[in-house]
Amino acid sequence: MISVERLSKTVNGRPVLDNITFELEPGRIHGIIGPNGVGKSTLLQLLSGVMKPSSGEVSFDGARMSGYSRKALAKRLAVLQQGGLPPAGFTVRQVIEMGRFPYQNWFGDEREDHSALIDFALESMGLSDLANRALDQLSGGERQRVALAKVMVQEPEVILLDEPTTYLDIGYQVQLLDTVRQWQQDRGLTVGAVLHDLNLASLYCDQIIVLHQGGVAARGTPMEVLTEALISEVYQTEASIVIHPITGTPQILLQPKGSRQILAVT
């Protein structure tokens, strides 16, 4: 669906991504992980066509990303930016309705009534009781859920999520990612998600791409990628890998410095 070929990007004179190649396979959830400052958000902007590469190419469905108009691309690809939505004087429902912009005419009208779609997005994200509340009266976590609901009503084929669980407590993290996965499975969507929490990446992603020192350090299933050796190399920290008793996916237990000595004493 989205192909990256020999992609490089320099930002403010500093090379961030260097000659990387991979593909986001259709109908799968792809996690993008790596340390802070490694270029995960930059990569997402390149994948969405918002940013142009210094060299190399990003293709969407066999055509260059640069060849799509913004409105034509928005009918097929949606992006949840890092940090969700800024406070604004619109209601929750009005903001979610803005996700229908790619399908509206110059007057902001559509041929069909999509109020049922708006209601479904509100319910899916637990926002029905907040539908008429102003966005600037919501917490950061609530605004993040509004942002995803806005993406849902865009009805894309591909969604790109930049740290979608930011500001959310663990209950809403699970709810949001459960919703994304169910939505992805129901509609055969392709998902690319920048995630900091490696355990969430393991639980929800079919494939994981690890960025490190400007390149792709590893790519594969969570079982193939999330190893103690890779965590040590990429994150400069020690960890133990255990298997989730229900999902069978790897889960990471961090090892505080001196933990072995503490265990020896006890």
- Domain extents for the chain? 2-226
- Mean pLDDT throughout 34-46? 91
Cα(168)–Cα(145) distance, integer angstroms? 9
What pLDDT digit, counting tens, does each position of 159-174 carry? 999 988 877 889 888 9
Q: Indicate the burial class of 8 (C-beta count within 10 angstroms; 0-12, 13-18, 19 or more).
A: middle
Q: For residue 67, give every residue at least 6 positions away whose Cβ sits within 8 Å of its Cβ, in sequence order, or none.
A: none
- The dihedral sign for the CA sequence 33, 241, 230, 220: negative
pLDDT band at 251 (very low <50, low <70, confident <90, very high): very high
- Check residue 265 and give its pLDDT: 43
- Mean pLDDT throughout 3-17? 90
Q: By C-alpha distance, which of 51, 38, 37 is closest to 4?
A: 51
- Check residue 87 and give its pLDDT: 64
Least confident span in 44-48, 86-90, 108-112, 226-230: 108-112
CATH topology for the 2-226 domain: Rossmann fold (3.40.50)
Least confident span in 56-70, 180-194, 237-251: 56-70
What is the residue type of 137? Q
Are the C-beta atoms of residues 29 and 204 closer than 8 Å to each other? yes
- Mean pLDDT throughout 25-39? 93
What pLDDT digit, counting tens, does each position of 113-150 carry? 778 889 988 998 889 999 999 988 888 778 888 888 99
C-alpha of 133 from chain center? 26
pLDDT over 50 at 196, yes or no: yes
Are the C-beta atoms of residues 239 and 231 closer than 8 Å to each other? yes
- Check residue 88 and give its pLDDT: 74
- Check residue 125 and give its pLDDT: 84
- Mean pLDDT throughout 96-104? 83
Q: Please state the pTM of the whole predicted model.
A: 0.86
- Check residue 260 and give its pLDDT: 56
Are the C-beta atoms of residues 51 and 221 closer than 8 Å to each other? no
pLDDT over 60 at 266, yes or no: no
Share the mean pLDDT of the chain. Answer: 87
Cα dihedral 150→152→153→157 (10° resolution): 130
